[in-house]
Amino acid sequence: MASRLLTRSAAARLLSHLRRRTPDPTHPLLIYGAALASLLGPIGDLPAAADSALLRYPARWFSSSSTAAVTKAPMTADGLTVDSIAGKGWTILPEAESDWRSHAAAVAQSIKLIKKRLKWGWILERTKQLAVVLERPDLWDDPVFAGRVSREHGELMGKIKSVNQFEQELIEHIEMLRLAREENDNELETESMSALADMRRSAKEKELNAILSGENDSCSCFIEVQAGAGGTESMDWAAMVMNMYRSWAQRRGYTVTVVEEMPGEIAGIKRATIKVDGEYAFGYAKAEVGVHRLVRISPFDSGKRRHTSFAAVAVIPILGAASSRYQIKDSDLRIERFRSGGPGGQHANTTESAIRIVHVPTGITATCQNERSQHMNKASAMAVLQSRLDQLEIARQAQMNAEHTQSLNEISWGNQIRSYVLHPYRMVKDLRTNYEVSDPDSVLEGDLDEFILNYLSSSLDEADGTTLLDGD
Amino acid sequence: MAWSSVGLDPASPSTSVPFLPRRTRHFPVKPPPAMAMLSLSSRPLASLRPNRPNPPLHRLLRPKPLASTSASALTPPTPLSDPTPPPDADPTPLFLRPATHPAPAAALAAFRRRAAALVPPSAPHLHRHLRWLLAAAAAAADPSSDPALLRAPLGDLEAMWARHVRDRRPFQYVVGNEHWRDLVVAVRDGVLIPRPETEAVVDMVRNVEGFADGWWADLGTGSGAIAVAVARELGPEGKVFAVDVSEVAIEVARLNVQRYGMQDKVEIRHGSWFEPLEDVKGKLMGVISNPPYIPTDDLPRLQPEVGWHEPKLALDGGKDGLEHLLHLCEGLSSVLKPGGFFVFETNGNKQSEFLVDLISTKWSSSFHNVEAVLDFAEIKRFVTGYRR
């Protein structure tokens, strides 16, 4: 390949060449007179055409001269692009390993995800349409409309540009690294490697921000777990699920408090609610909404038979003091305290401090019995009630996001999201993403991040039009 | 959520036994003679406290009780069926003791296992108590430190736990406090544990016009819960006289007043009902009382936590349970200023109805707007009214 012929002194020339290949997309000519873009001349004159996968975007989009310039994928001298790197399936090793392929693959994966989140296909299409509009000679007859169009076009071009720059950077680092290897320049190699590693970290950060960009993702949340039918075995399973979330949350550095817990008669829980406090608690935990299925030899079955049990999980965001909060009227509340049923007063000694609050118009209730102080239980129950009503409000305001706003009662027991098998083989498999691991113990000890991230990025696939538009 | 009865005796004395005197009484146990004596007068009880080897600091710092009537011959044995002195004879509530006893994590875990093993399956609330006990006994700082610092040696905690589970000593006495309204009220053996029903009294006081700058009396203050809660609502001119005949109650009330910094608002007075209030006669904006109101005949059938461990002095309302309530009603008009408010807690529906009827007929010239007020369980728990 060409790079083999390069000398160290040629590196600078190569880099400047790479940079030249991507014209500044926010150039005034592009925005205000897209037709002029064609004057910038042909750009497809590079030796990259060999990899057909690279040409997905070009094939569909480059026919329009106006946006072609900015959507051209940056490429190494030997034809690697970000997409092709992501598609090569290179093993991604831990960050500490100095392996450029691993770093590059990680960055490429992140970029792919960020593109999904941005609805890359839609952005490109939209930019193209806007460019057509901007070409119209009578555009400025309606200055308000023209202003709006050019502003949107500018914003989209800005997004495209920042992604392209990031891609460009990756390609440059790879080129530099190859160069360094060929020239046996250890210093340059170390430098480039650490630059790649840095990039990997910042890409991960950008990726997370891209995944967790839902309206309420940054909120704290309540996680509720309810045992399915099946008595003690399924109550025990519900308790295991609850423990899994507690340790998951603690690993992530969130604060966990038990709000409500209804213990089973023999073991486990019938139902429980915990509060998970911390940044993005809801964003991650929402991936766990649904029914979790366990298959094992039940310790509660003297006949040692295999049992299948279910636990339902609901996740509710705790909204900040935003305007979307449901306004609760005091007169709509009925506050119930525990009643001993006897003569009460001096006759009775009880530490029962449970509080139940009923929101009369909706029939929604919240209970808290965790604290010794009834006063504090009331405050906690109010917080739960507020969140449940907020959730209802969110659901009412927007029928979308349906999955995340389901309450426990609404979750259909058929909606299984994950299977945990302890017998006859050992496996945890997510039924939505098909992601699986063969070590159920670590998952039950809270090692859930891979499941969650896999689901979150796969749910971006559905939200993004790229797949369809690209025809793959 | 089980909103049914937990840990209570199925017998409900006040609903099954008419409060008016009847000849047909069938008691499994005859009330001990001491109890009959007890019901005759309101007398101190303090002398029977077990030996207290190390008076804690707050007790050494406080002045001596105003009167030392504690050697009365009338003092009955109490607790009734609790012959062994408590192992934690230290009168400082557990939750206020210094956390100076290191306990290795392993020992603590072993204790937790042994303690949980004592809990019968029929009493799931005891698991909650165990959690709360450990929370109250541990130093607040770092719950995961090893060794943990405890407020009592593990051995003492174990004995206390056994007494709670086996002897049904109230959990509040074990940890030394009760959460009442937004307060954490210190309590110990010899003082009535404040009841959740009584919380409503404070709200009734707050609804009285101009309450914040008035003088109030809390008669039979016990732990001082009502006095402290009312004092916290008062304005600069407001004041509460907290009266109790029991020296233990006086000590505990003083501790609670100090803990909430209400020394300037609450004046504690030792004596029986109106006796220590001669100097403020006719000047009170309100009188509050949660006097003993359980009919003597009902005492043997109380829930063990109450009947075996809480002071009879604070429970025994004499025949029909009305003895002290009637005494209070009689003295009321002379201490209240015109327009003054009163609220009494009672044994429930029939007592309240009886008192409302009595006051609005016998003393109709002195009081108006006399009514029975419901508690959260819809029982007519309180009698309120205004002095004309």
Domain annotation for chain A: domains and CATH numbers: 2-211 (no CATH), 216-472 (3.30.70.1660)
Question: With 0-12 CB in 10 A as exposed, 13-18 as middle and 19+ as buried, what is B259?
Answer: middle
Task: Show residues of chain A in contact with B128, CB under 8 Å.
Answer: 351
**Angle subtended at Cα A309 by Cα A304 and Cα A310, rounded to the nearest 5 degrees:** 165
Residue-wise pLDDT for B5-36, tens only, equals 333 333 333 333 333 333 333 434 444 444 43
**Which of A345, A356, A375 shows the shortest C-beta gap to B348?**
A345
Residue partners of B114: CB distance under 8 A and separation at least 6: B158
Task: Show residues of chain B in contact with A358, CB under 8 Å.
Answer: none
**Which of B121, B193, B293 shows the shortest C-beta gap to A349?**
B193
The answer, yes or no, to whether ipTM is higher than 0.85 is no
Residues 185-214 of B with CB under 8 A from A: 192-193, 195-198
B303 vs A347: CB contact, 8 Å cut-off?
yes
Among the residue ranges A339-353, A433-447, B370-384, the one predicted with the least confidence is A339-353
pLDDT at B261 (0 to 100)? 95
The stretch A242-250 carries a mean pLDDT of: 94
Contact B297, B25 (CB under 8 A): yes
| Residue intervals in chain B for CATH 3.40.50.150 | 186-387
Question: By three-state DSSP, how is residue A156 classified?
Answer: helix
**Which of B9, B179, B197 shows the shortest C-beta gap to A344?**
B197
d(CA A319, CA B138): 34
A345 vs B181: CB contact, 8 Å cut-off?
no
Residues 310-339 of A with CB under 8 A from B: 336-339
Q: Is B381 on the interface with A (CB under 8 A)?
A: yes
Which CA distances in Å does A57 have to A54, A79, A121, A462? 7, 15, 9, 19
Residue-wise pLDDT for B130-141, tens only, equals 988 988 888 765
Q: Is A400 on the interface with B (CB under 8 A)?
A: no
Residues 299-318 of B with CB under 8 A from A: 302-303, 305-306, 310, 314-315
Residue partners of A73: CB distance under 8 A and separation at least 6: A54, A57, A58, A81, A82, A83, A167
d(CA A85, CA A110): 11
Q: Which residue of B has its CA nearest to A379?
A: B182
Residue B220: closest CA among B191, B180, B197: B191
pLDDT above 90 as % of chain B: 59
Q: How far apart are the first and last CA of chain B?
A: 47
For residue A408, how many other CB atoms are within 10 A of its CB? Answer: 16
Residue B291: closest CA among B252, B328, B239: B328
Task: Show residues of chain A in contact with B14, CB under 8 Å.
Answer: 343, 347
Task: Show residues of chain A in contact with B7, CB under 8 Å.
Answer: 350, 352
Q: Is B218 on the interface with A (CB under 8 A)?
A: no
d(CA A119, CA A152): 15
Q: Is A340 on the interface with B (CB under 8 A)?
A: yes
Q: Which residue of B has its CA nearest to A265?
A: B121
Task: Show residues of chain A in contact with B302, CB under 8 Å.
Answer: 347
| Fold exhibited by the domain B186-387 | Rossmann fold (3.40.50)
B5 vs A375: CB contact, 8 Å cut-off?
no
| Residue of A224, A232, A334, A347 for testing the chain B interface, max B β-carbons within 10 Å | A347
pTM above 0.80, yes or no: no
d(CA B60, CA B69): 20
Among the residue ranges A31-35, A231-235, B201-205, the one predicted with the least confidence is A31-35
Q: Is A31's pLDDT higher than 90?
A: no
Residues 102-121 of B with CB under 8 A from A: 121
**Angle subtended at Cα A430 by Cα A434 and Cα A249, rounded to the nearest 5 degrees:** 135
CA of residue A116 relative to chain centroid, distance:
11
A347 vs B124: CB contact, 8 Å cut-off?
no
A350 vs B6: CB contact, 8 Å cut-off?
yes
A373 vs B182: CB contact, 8 Å cut-off?
yes
Strand order of the sheet with strand A333-337?
Answer: A333-337, A355-359, A364-368
Task: Show residues of chain B in contact with A372, CB under 8 Å.
Answer: 132, 179
Residues 240-279 of A with CB under 8 A from B: 262-263, 265
For residue B155, how many other CB atoms are within 10 A of its CB? Answer: 11
Residue-wise pLDDT for A49-62, tens only, equals 333 333 333 333 33
Query: Model confidence at B52, in pLDDT bands (50, 70, 90)?
Result: very low
Residue partners of B22: CB distance under 8 A and separation at least 6: none
Mean pLDDT over each residue of chain A, to the nearest integer: 77
Contact A448, A248 (CB under 8 A): yes
A346 vs B306: CB contact, 8 Å cut-off?
yes
Residue-wise pLDDT for B258-313, tens only, equals 999 999 999 999 999 999 999 999 999 999 999 999 999 999 999 999 999 999 99
3-state DSSP percent of chain B in helix, strand and coil, to 5: 40, 15, 45
Which CA distances in Å does B181 have to A193, A347, B19, B195? 63, 19, 30, 10
d(CA B163, CA B309): 11
Query: Model confidence at B238, in pLDDT bands (50, 70, 90)?
Result: very high
- Based on C-alpha coordinates, what's the Rg of chain B? 21
Instruction: Pick the most confident of A5-14, A134-143, A305-314.
Output: A305-314
DSSP string, B238-281: -EEEEEES-HHHHHHHHHHHHHTT-TTTEEEEESSTTGGGGGGT
Q: Is B293 on the interface with A (CB under 8 A)?
A: yes
d(CA B15, CA B351): 11
Question: With 0-12 CB in 10 A as exposed, 13-18 as middle and 19+ as buried, what is B69?
Answer: middle
